[in-house]
Amino acid sequence: MVIMFSFLKNSATALVIQRVGFGLITLLVISMLIFIGVEALPGDLAEAILGQSATPEAIEAFRTELKLDLPSYQRYLSWLGGFVQGDFGNSLATGRPIADMLSWRLGNTLLLASVAAVIAVPLAVILGIAAALYRDSLLDRSLSMVTLTAISFPEFFVAYILIGLFAVKWAIFPAIANINQEMSYSQILQAIFLPALTLTLVVVAHMMRQTRAAIINILSSPFIEMANLKGLKRLRVVAMHAFPNALSPVINVIALNLAYLVVGVVIVEVVFVYPGLGQLLVDSVSKRDLPVVQASGLIFAATYILLNLLADILSILSNPRLRNPK
């Protein structure tokens, strides 16, 4: 027991376990906030669903079916227990199991985020290395100006600009990213190109600027000066020596932006009418389908916390001082 405690105390394992514990506690608190927020909505859910023409007996039976006659803490524990087991209940609007509705929608959201990540991550790293390699040059200033401009624009503005150019003016890609399971993979990629490009333009700036800043910070280190004194080419110094030692902050910002890609797609999905989890969340809010809203919100929260946790763990593992504290 003493040896195990000493190992946890003197290694990165303790930090990883601590991050996992904080992540679980955060998810529990968020689940409480989601449930309390839904509970605080004005009006009676049963009356809102059944309408004013419903009889008191029908309303009471519907309240019993939804377990609205139980205390709040019992309904919360029942809802959280069902979520852990993968049972989200049934949709009030369609009567279908929520798990079936979420599986395909979540898959679509992850597909869109993955395509955007495949484009954005390599592009951001390459541009960040190029900006650091040619620091204070015209290329560096141009990249900084373009990325700052991209950061300043909201997602819906970028989306409408791309729709105006590629869907209306040049008619290359569809303005509505409507996909289904019968489409081929190439057809799906063509349909989701504009929303994926929108997400790419939004997140690539953060990753590129962080990569540039991390590499420039490493370039002032003594071992980089030694590599320069040996006569190594600057590109080799940056790519082979500076970039590997700047991985910790770069991995952290990449993972954080990947988390944003998954949970920040709501606006983009609404603009392009993309059948993802964000669009389902917005539709469920308009229909007052509260079980779907609760499940979607908690899935978004769990995904964001998981990816942030992954960012912390990768940052710890890529930092030699944390891997080898001695």
Q: Decide if pLDDT at 5 tops 70.
A: no
Interval 39-68: pLDDT, tens: 787 766 777 677 667 778 777 887 787 777
Query: pLDDT confidence of 2, banded at 50, 70, 90?
Result: very low
pLDDT over 70 percentage in the chain: 92
Task: Give φ, ψ of 97 to 5 degrees.
Answer: -60, 135
Residue 142 is predicted with a pLDDT of 92
User: Band of the pLDDT at 296, cuts 50, 70, 90?
Assistant: very high
Q: Does 144 have pLDDT greater than 90? A: no
CATH label, 104-317, candidates 2.130.10.10, 1.10.3720.10, 3.20.20.70, 1.20.1440.60: 1.10.3720.10
Amino acid at 78: S
Report the sign of the C-alpha dihedral through residues 175, 180, 183, 189, in that order: positive
pLDDT for 82-132, tens place per residue?
A: 888 888 888 887 888 999 889 999 999 999 999 999 999 999 999 998 898
User: What digits encode the pLDDT tens for the residues 207-224?
Assistant: 898 889 888 888 888 888
| Token pair in block for residue 195 | 């929303």
Listed in order, the ranges of the chain carrying CATH 1.10.3720.10 are 104-317
49, 92 contact by CB (below 8 A): yes
Average pLDDT over residues 172-195: 92
Residues 6+ apart with CB under 8 A from 265: 109, 112, 113, 195, 199, 274, 276, 277, 278
Q: Look at residue 11 in the predicted model and tell me its pLDDT.
A: 64
Whole-number mean pLDDT of the chain? 85
Which of 61-75, 204-218, 253-267 shows the lowest mean pLDDT across its residues? 61-75
The pTM is what?
A: 0.85
